[in-house]
Amino acid sequence: MRINWRVVQNWIVPVVALVAWQLFGAAGMLPRYLSTPDAIVEGLWEMAATGELLAALAASLYRVTAGFVLGTGGGVLIGLAAGVVPAVRHFFDPLVSFLYSIPKIAFLPIFLLLFGLGHGSKIAIIAVSCFFPVFIASRHAVLAVNRLLIWAAQNMGAPPRTVFFRVIIPAAAPQLFTGIRIGLAHAFVVLFAAELIGSKAGLGTLISYGEEWVRFDLMFGGIVCFAALGFFADRLLLVIRQRVLKGQIIGTEEQVVR
Amino acid sequence: MTAEARAIVGRWYSIPLLLVVWGAAVASGLVQSRLLPGPGAVWDALTGETANGALVYHAGVTVSRALTGFLLAALIGIPFAAAMARSSLVGNLFEPIFFLGYPVPKIALFPVFTYIFGIGTPSKVAFTFLECLYPIVVTCYFGFSGVQTRLIWTAQNCGASRMTILRRVILPAAMPSIFSALRIALPVAIVVVVITEMIGDSIGLGYYITIWSTRFRFANVYAAIIVIGVCGLVLDQAVLLLRHRIVHWERERA
- Interface confidence, given as ipTM, is 0.85
C-alpha neighbours within 13 Å on the C-beta side of residue B204: 26
Q: Does B138 touch chain A (CB under 8 A)?
A: yes
CA distance B132 to chain A (A): 14
B197, pLDDT greater than 50:
yes
Q: Average the pLDDT over each of A54-63, A212-221, B119-128, B188-197 and give the range with the smallest value.
A: A212-221
* Percent of chain B with pLDDT strictly greater than 70: 98
Pick from A189, A225, A237, A256 the residue to mutate for testing the B interface (most B CBs within 10 Å).
A189
Q: How far apart are CA A99 and CA A93, in angstroms?
A: 10
B contact residues 168-207, partner A, Cβ 8 Å cutoff: 187, 190-191, 194-195, 198-199, 205-206
Which residues from B are below 8 Å from A11, CB to CB? 96
Pick from B102, B195, B214, B225 the residue to mutate for testing the A interface (most A CBs within 10 Å).
B195
Per-residue pLDDT, averaged over A15-20, amounts to 91
pLDDT-derived band at B30, boundaries 50, 70, 90: confident
pLDDT-derived band at B252, boundaries 50, 70, 90: low
| Each residue's pLDDT tens digit, B162-181 | 889 888 889 999 999 999 99
The helix/strand/coil state of A95 is: helix
CA distance B15 to chain A (A): 6
pLDDT of residue B136: 95
Per-residue pLDDT, averaged over A241-255, amounts to 70
pLDDT of residue B121: 92
pLDDT of residue A250: 60
pLDDT-derived band at A245, boundaries 50, 70, 90: confident
- Tell me how crowded residue B242 is: count the other CB atoms within 10 A of its CB: 12
Q: Verify whether the Cβ–Cβ distance B229 to A105 is below 8 Å.
A: no
Residue of chain A whose alpha carbon sits nearest to that of B183: A101
Q: Verify whether the Cβ–Cβ distance B92 to A10 is below 8 Å.
A: yes
Residue of chain A whose alpha carbon sits nearest to that of B184: A182
Per-residue pLDDT, averaged over B58-64, amounts to 95
Beta-carbon pairs below 8 A across chains A and B: 147
CA dihedral A39, A42, A48, A49 (to 10 degrees): -140
pLDDT of residue B251: 64
A257, pLDDT greater than 80:
no
Contacts of A245 (CB under 8 A, 6+ apart): A173, A174, A177
Q: How far apart are CA B41 and CA B31, in angstroms?
A: 15
Which residues from A are below 8 Å from B15, CB to CB? 94-95, 98
pLDDT of residue B47: 93
pLDDT of residue A252: 54
pLDDT-derived band at A249, boundaries 50, 70, 90: low
* Percent of chain A with pLDDT strictly greater than 70: 96
B contact residues 104-133, partner A, Cβ 8 Å cutoff: 104-109, 111-112, 115-116
Contacts of B245 (CB under 8 A, 6+ apart): none
Residue of chain B whose alpha carbon sits nearest to that of A12: B93
Residue of chain A whose alpha carbon sits nearest to that of B143: A255
B253, pLDDT greater than 80:
no
pLDDT-derived band at A79, boundaries 50, 70, 90: very high
Pick from B13, B65, B92, B196 the residue to mutate for testing the A interface (most A CBs within 10 Å).
B92
Q: How far apart are CA A33 and CA B144, in angstroms?
A: 39
pLDDT-derived band at A256, boundaries 50, 70, 90: low
Q: How far apart are CA A100 and CA B103, in angstroms?
A: 22
Which residues from A are below 8 Å from B233, CB to CB? 101
B contact residues 78-97, partner A, Cβ 8 Å cutoff: 89, 92-97
Decide: A149 and A194 in contact? Cβ < 8 Å.
Answer: no
Q: Does B14 touch chain A (CB under 8 A)?
A: yes
Decide: B43 and B54 in contact? Cβ < 8 Å.
Answer: no
B40, pLDDT greater than 50:
yes
pLDDT of residue A78: 96
**How does the average pLDDT of chain A come out, rounded?**
88
Residue of chain A whose alpha carbon sits nearest to that of B134: A257
pLDDT of residue A255: 52
Amino acid at residue number A247: G
Contacts of A250 (CB under 8 A, 6+ apart): none
Q: Average the pLDDT over each of A209-223, A237-251, B190-204, B232-246 and give the range with the smallest value.
A: A237-251
- Distances A199 to A117, A123, A130, A207 between C-alpha atoms, Å: 5, 12, 20, 12
Pick from B113, B198, B240 the residue to mutate for testing the A interface (most A CBs within 10 Å).
B198
**How does the average pLDDT of chain B come out, rounded?**
89
Q: Verify whether the Cβ–Cβ distance B191 to A189 is below 8 Å.
A: yes
CA distance B41 to chain A (A): 16
Q: How far apart are CA A201 and CA A144, in angstroms?
A: 43
B1, pLDDT greater than 70:
no
Of A34, A113, A235, the CB nearest to B35: A113
Residue of chain B whose alpha carbon sits nearest to that of A229: B104
Of B97, B104, B218, the CB nearest to A13: B97
Per-residue pLDDT, averaged over A68-95, amounts to 93
Per-residue pLDDT, averaged over B89-102, amounts to 88
Which residues from A are below 8 Å from B218, CB to CB? 110
Report which DSSP code applies to B169. I
pLDDT of residue A141: 92
Q: Verify whether the Cβ–Cβ distance A193 to B199 is below 8 Å.
A: yes
pLDDT of residue B254: 43
Which residues from A are below 8 Å from B11, CB to CB? 90, 93-94
A27, pLDDT greater than 90:
no
Residue of chain B whose alpha carbon sits nearest to that of A216: B112
Q: How far apart are CA B236 and CA B254, in angstroms?
A: 13
